[in-house]
């Protein structure tokens, strides 16, 4: 039961958030209304819940939320070998809270419970769905699957977590260093005294990856210790004094220099006019009004000076390190800015290969979490490898391998239906690899209708001359599939499947469909095999499934001339990466012409059993729209891929350059004309985390810049190494580059930890399209394994110039 509470919000939310009144109140004002305080009070008090690890592994534990340190805690196992196991989940690491059977563990347990109930209808339910809820957390999207004693308790916990997540993630997005430091201070204050000694402060700074001179640090510590408090005879600072100590240690010469340049004669404050000049001259902002500058001062300056329209160094630093001055053009982050009324063939589409896998192609698990993850990341084409399953219901897995299975019904109901349009409202493609018998194809069609029938695109393609636009297809799901299959091929991987489980002599080739939109009631048809003098006997797929395939019918490729002659804009062909590169080498202009009319899908070679990735850039350069990568692998190719699709509001669609749409030949890329000048100055780094488990190690960071796109635009650069400083390393190195095809170019900033012996260790990176870099002084927010590194950034200065103006 939910606990009724008369506590005020200030007693529910942690003090280290509430104390930052202006920013916290901004967050609250812009966030959805919080749930009843009773929900938050209930999770704070806690409850006894059952944890499921599998259908037959249940553990009874007490769970509660520590709102001071923002953690979900639970009682540890009493078994001695579990004593060192982590016994909490950070609220900041929680991705979702779901009510019901919405994870792989619960779906399996639920099916078993329903089977037992079917055998004995009088038996009380072993597992009630309305008592179950799941917490999804960590970069691997692990699920903590819990069962409450009653439905109200389960619902209360889900509402409570969603409320906490809203506030914590909103505050994290604002990147308040003071809130972050207070949280670290509270964690370091083991005895709860509210103060830290000099040695304790030094230990905390070591955790922050900062190597300090003890003598110099002690002088700053004494300056910060205003209250002259002592604990056990030693000087100690409270949270506010620790923040002052920290800020004295953190020197940002580049920000201070800029501030002095545009401040008044005394150098102590900046007027609205000085700020306006800075924004126009350094940040390339146009026609900045005085009112806008005053608004920034009021928003970012923490001191009373803001009431007099003056900005201090602290306020200027807060402005410079805010999301407003991140490297990605602000207009591209959260809104669609491109024309979305072109035919689908005019767009690049974020696409996933073997979406269901969590790891390699041979032994990893299949999971609905893999689908949810890519959909949340803006992916617009996901793959379903369909095989006959037990009990007459189809499953998804990588055929003839040791990968796990996941029921199609679970993927449809728990991943696709709720998450298809959470991140992007533009059309979602389901790419089917159909190995099902006719009976299970019919079952699949029924499952699709039940789960997403109202979302399906069911267009008539008989007279279609060009594909519909993403705008026309908003909130629609499109099925990509073959309409005809080889007789007897459903229980074995077709040698022409584009999702082969092992290396194949002819990867990527698909069966030849009929040339018009026939009814599946038509008889079996013999069609010639392009690779053989023998005929292949094909039959239509199940009628209900057949009728769901329209604007994305998968066909075998018989050459560019053949496709042009047929002129079926709704046909799509798939190529392995190697076959596609051969076609690009042989017929690049024909490839470009083809992709102005029809979709093309490119997928990894069957030999990539570790789920490695290939470079998408050669394929984008000829207009290939559906370049499918293994999202489950955080490779350098995937980092570049994510960077490319950060533009246009991360909606999963990017309009091609005009020269890949207009059929203008020769292509502009074949000329030696330079289009863009780019200069990047790598200035400094902030809060770079440690790599590895050695708590006493300090990173030796350096930065690399890599540009990929058109082959003529490939570029790389590396700074020197800064020894023993992950806290605030300073490089101040610049590089210039000229680009021929900036529309396709992606720049990646990578920070690594230099090693005396062995390869450098990856710290974090960030990629984005070159055309959407913001000029001026910017911060690059680092990402690792697809997750932001809290407060870890590099500071750069950017100068850009279009050379064709």
The closest of 495, 499, 482 to 384, measured between CA atoms, is 499
3-class SS string, 71-85: EEEECCCCCHHHCCC
**Residue 215: pLDDT over 80:** no
Cα 630 to chain centroid distance, Å, stands at: 13
CA–CA dist 160, 46 (Å, integer): 11
Predicted TM-score (pTM) of this structure: 0.81
Distance CA(745)–CA(773), nearest Å, equals 11
Name the more confident of 664 and 18. Answer: 664
pLDDT score of 519 more than 70: no
**Pairing between β-strand 477-481 and β-strand 428-434 as defined by DSSP bridges:** parallel
Poorest-pLDDT segment among 247-261, 284-298, 574-588, 711-725: 247-261
Number of H helices, E strands in the chain: 24, 33
User: Cis before residue 666, ω within 30 degrees of 0?
Assistant: yes
Residues 6+ apart with CB under 8 A from 610: 360, 361, 633
In the three-class reduction of DSSP (H, G, I as helix; E, B as strand; rest coil), residue 591 is classed as helix
Task: Quote the pLDDT of residue 1.
Answer: 33
**Per-residue pLDDT at 663 exceeds 50:** yes
Phi, psi of 148 (to 5 degrees): -95, 170
Tens digits of per-residue pLDDT, 317-345?
889 988 999 999 988 988 999 999 999 99
pLDDT of residue 539: 87
Helical spans, DSSP H, in 512-650: 543-546, 560-566, 577-597, 617-620, 636-644
The overall average pLDDT reported for the chain is 85
Task: For the chain, give the longest Cα–Cα distance.
Answer: 94
3-class SS string, 392-422: HCCEECCCCCCCCCEEHHHHHHHHHHHHCCC
CA distance 226 to 241: 7
Give pLDDT, residue 213.
Answer: 65
Q: Is 795 helix (H, G, I), strand (E, B) or coil?
A: strand
Residues 6+ apart with CB under 8 A from 452: 412, 416, 417, 420, 477
Task: Please give the residue that has the higher pLDDT: either 515 or 390.
Answer: 390
154: closest CA among 127, 178, 179? 127
Identify the pLDDT of residue 91: 85
CA 109/CA 54 separation, integer angstroms? 7
Q: Would the pLDDT of 379 be above 70? A: yes
Phi, psi of 267 (to 5 degrees): 70, 10
Given a cut of 90, whether residue 181 has pLDDT beyond it is no
CB atoms within 10 A of CB 228: 9
Angstrom CA distances, 713 to 63, 643, 673, 796, stand at 54, 17, 12, 21
Banded pLDDT at 231 (limits 50, 70, 90) = confident
Nearest alpha carbon to residue 416 among 389, 453, 391, 465: 453
Do the strands 746-753 and 701-708 form a parallel or antiparallel pair, or are they unpaired?
A: antiparallel
pLDDT given at position 125: 75
Task: Report the percent of the chain where pLDDT is more than 70.
Answer: 84
Which range (13-27, 205-219, 390-404) has the least confidence? 13-27
pLDDT at 693: 67
User: Does residue 8 surpass a pLDDT of 50?
Assistant: no
Confidence band for 16, pLDDT divided at 50, 70 and 90: very low
What's residue 589's pLDDT?
93
CB < 8 Å & 24+ apart, contacts of 248-254? 248/220, 248/223, 248/224, 249/205, 249/210, 249/212, 249/217, 249/220, 250/727, 250/728, 251/728, 252/317, 252/684, 252/728, 252/795, 253/730, 254/683, 254/684, 254/732, 254/777, 254/795
pLDDT score for 304: 78
Those residues with Cβ within 8 angstroms of residue 211's Cβ, 6 or more apart along the chain or in another chain: 698, 724, 725, 727
In which band, very low, low, confident or very high, does the pLDDT at 2 lie, cut at 50, 70 and 90? very low
Average pLDDT score over residue span 368-395: 96
Categorise residue 643: left if φ over 0, alpha if ψ from -120 to 50, beta otherwise.
Answer: alpha
Q: How confident is the model at residue 669 (pLDDT cuts 50, 70, 90)?
A: low
Asked if the model's pLDDT at residue 30 lies above 50, the reply is no
Q: Is residue 201 within 8 Å of 235, Cβ to Cβ?
A: no
**Cα–Cα nearest to 351, from 601, 5, 21:** 601
Burial of 544 by CB count in 10 Å (0-12 exposed, 13-18 middle, 19+ buried)?
middle
From CA 382, how far away is CA 575, in angstroms rounded?
Answer: 16
In angstroms, what CA-CA distances link 108 with 105, 113, 287, 409, 780? Answer: 5, 9, 60, 12, 42
> Which CA distances in Å does 263 have to 13, 255, 270, 278, 351?
38, 12, 4, 10, 49
> Which domains are assigned to the chain?
9-174 (2.30.29.30), 179-249 (1.10.238.10), 253-320 (1.10.238.10), 347-660 (3.20.20.190), 672-802 (2.60.40.150)
- C-beta atoms surrounding 535 within 10 Å: 11
Q: Which residues pair with 65 in a beta bridge?
A: 72
Handedness of CA 762, 765, 767, 773 (dihedral sign): negative
CA-based Rg of the chain, rounded to a whole angstrom? 29
Q: Give me the pLDDT at residue 24, please.
A: 40
Q: Which residues are catalytic?
A: 353, 398
What is the rounded average pLDDT of the residues 529-558? Answer: 82
The mean pLDDT value for 701-728 works out to 94
Q: Where are the alpha helices (DSSP H) in 598-728?
A: 617-620, 636-644
Taking residues 2-27, report their average pLDDT: 37
Residue 649 backbone zone (phi > 0: left; psi -120 to 50: alpha; other: beta): left
Q: What is the pLDDT of residues 66-89, one digit of tens each?
A: 887 778 998 876 665 544 456 788
Task: Give the chain's end-to-end CA distance (angstroms, integer).
Answer: 68
pLDDT band for position 141 (50/70/90)? confident
- Among candidates 776, 682, 762, which has minimal Cα distance to 720? 682
Closest-CA residue to 235 (of 202, 197, 200, 186): 197
Residues 6+ apart with CB under 8 A from 757: none
- Among candidates 70, 320, 303, which has minimal Cα distance to 171? 70
Helix (H, G, I), strand (E, B) or coil at 526: strand
Q: Is the pLDDT of residue 60 over 70?
A: yes
Question: What pLDDT sits at residue 805?
Answer: 65
Q: Is 44 helix (H, G, I), strand (E, B) or coil?
A: helix
Sequence-distant (≥ 6) Cβ neighbours of residue 20 within 8 angstroms: 176, 178, 179
Lowest-confidence pick of 138-147, 348-357, 686-695? 686-695
Look at residue 536 in the predicted model and tell me its pLDDT: 64
- Residue range 20-47: mean pLDDT, rounded: 61
Residue among 139, 122, 153 at smallest CA distance from 50: 153
Dihedral pair phi/psi, residue 126, rounded to 5°? -75, -30
Cα–Cα distances (Å) from 550 to 350, 456, 460, in that order, read 21, 10, 7
How far is 551 from 671, CA to CA, in rounded Å?
Answer: 36
Q: pLDDT (tens digit, 9 = 90+) per residue, 340-373?
A: 999 999 999 999 999 999 999 999 999 999 999 9
Please, are residues 326 and 781 in contact by the beta-carbon 8 Å criterion?
Answer: yes
The per-residue pLDDT for 230 is: 87
15 pLDDT more than 70? no
């Amino acid at each position: 039961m939910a606990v009724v509470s008369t506590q005020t919000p200030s007693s529910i939310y942690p003090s280290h958030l509430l104390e930052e009144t202006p920013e916290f109140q901004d967050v609250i004002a812009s966030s959805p209304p919080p749930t009843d305080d009773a929900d938050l009070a209930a999770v704070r008090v806690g409850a006894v819940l059952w944890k499921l690890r599998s259908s037959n592994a249940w553990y009874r534990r007490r769970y509660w939320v520590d709102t001071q340190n923002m953690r979900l805690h639970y009682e540890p196992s009493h078994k001695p070998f579990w004593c060192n196991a982590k016994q909490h989940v950070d609220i900041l690491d929680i991705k979702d809270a779901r009510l019901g059977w919405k994870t792989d563990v619960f779906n399996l347990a639920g099916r078993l419970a329903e089977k037992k109930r079917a055998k004995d209808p009088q038996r009380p339910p072993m597992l009630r769905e309305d008592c179950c809820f799941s917490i999804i957390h960590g970069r691997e999207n692990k699920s903590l699957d819990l069962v409450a004693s009653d439905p109200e308790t389960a619902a209360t916990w889900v509402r409570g977590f969603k409320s906490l997540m809203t506030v914590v993630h909103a505050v994290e997005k604002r990147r308040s260093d003071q809130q972050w430091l207070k949280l670290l201070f509270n964690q370091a204050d083991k005895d709860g005294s509210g103060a830290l000694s000099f040695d304790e402060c030094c230990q905390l700074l070591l955790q922050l990856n900062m190597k300090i001179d003890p003598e110099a640090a002690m002088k700053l510590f004494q300056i910060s210790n205003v209250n002259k408090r002592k604990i056990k005879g030693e000087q100690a600072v409270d949270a506010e004094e620790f923040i002052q100590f920290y800020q004295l240690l953190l020197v940002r010469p580049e920000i201070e220099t800029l501030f002095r340049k545009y401040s008044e004669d005394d150098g102590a404050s900046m007027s609205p006019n000085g700020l306006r000049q800075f924004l126009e001259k350094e940040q390339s902002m146009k026609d900045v009004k005085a009112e806008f500058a005053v608004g920034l001062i009021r928003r970012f300056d923490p001191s009373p000076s803001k009431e007099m329209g003056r900005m201090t160094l602290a306020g200027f630093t807060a402005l410079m390190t805010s999301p407003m001055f991140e490297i990605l053009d602000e207009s591209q982050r959260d809104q669609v800015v491109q024309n979305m009324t072109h035919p689908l063939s005019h767009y690049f589409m974020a696409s996933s290969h073997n979406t269901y896998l969590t790891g390699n192609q041979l032994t990893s698990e299949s999971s609905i979490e893999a689908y949810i993850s890519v959909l949340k990341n803006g992916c617009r084409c996901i793959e379903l490898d369909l095989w006959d399953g037990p009990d007459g219901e189809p499953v998804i897995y990588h055929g003839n391998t040791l990968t796990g299975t996941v029921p199609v019904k679970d993927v449809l109901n728990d991943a696709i239906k709720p998450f298809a349009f959470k991140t992007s409202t533009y059309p979602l493609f389901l790419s089917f690899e159909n190995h099902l018998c006719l009976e299970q194809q019919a079952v699949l069609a029924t499952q699709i209708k039940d789960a997403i029938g109202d979302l399906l695109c069911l267009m008539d393609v008989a007279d279609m001359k060009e594909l519909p636009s993403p705008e026309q297809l908003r909130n629609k799901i499109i099925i990509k599939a073959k309409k005809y299959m080889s007789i007897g091929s459903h229980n074995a991987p077709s040698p022409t499947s584009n999702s082969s489980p092992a290396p194949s002599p002819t990867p990527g080739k698909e069966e030849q469909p009929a040339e018009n939109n026939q009814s599946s009631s038509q008889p079996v048809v013999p069609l010639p095999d392009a690779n053989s003098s023998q005929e292949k006997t094909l039959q239509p797929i199940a009628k209900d499934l057949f009728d769901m395939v329209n604007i994305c019918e998968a066909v075998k490729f018989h050459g560019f001339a053949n496709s042009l002659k047929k002129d079926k804009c709704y046909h799509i062909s798939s190529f392995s990466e190697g076959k596609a590169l051969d076609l690009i080498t042989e017929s690049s202009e024909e490839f470009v012409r083809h992709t102005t009319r029809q979709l093309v899908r490119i997928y990894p070679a069957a030999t990539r059993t570790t789920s490695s990735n290939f470079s998408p850039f050669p394929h984008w350069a000829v207009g290939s729209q559906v370049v499918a990568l293994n999202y489950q692998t955080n490779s350098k190719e995937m980092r570049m891929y994510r960077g490319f699709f950060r533009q246009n509001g991360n909606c999963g669609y990017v309009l091609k350059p005009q020269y890949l749409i207009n059929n203008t030949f020769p292509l502009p890329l074949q000329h030696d004309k330079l289009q863009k000048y780019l200069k990047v100055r790598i200035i400094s780094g902030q809060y770079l985390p440690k790599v590895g488990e050695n708590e006493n190690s300090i990173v030796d960071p350096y930065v690399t810049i890599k540009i990929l796109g058109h082959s003529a635009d490939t570029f790389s650069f590396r700074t020197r190494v800064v020894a023993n400083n992950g806290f605030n390393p300073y490089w101040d190195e610049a590089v210039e580059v000229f680009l021929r095809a900036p529309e396709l170019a992606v720049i990646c900033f990578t920070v690594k930890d230099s090693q005396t012996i062995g390869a450098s260790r990856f710290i974090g990176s960030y990629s984005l399209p070159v055309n959407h870099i913001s000029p001026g002084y910017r911060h690059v927010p680092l990402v690792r394994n697809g997750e932001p590194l809290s407060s870890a950034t590099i500071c750069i200065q950017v100068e850009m110039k279009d050379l064709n103006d």
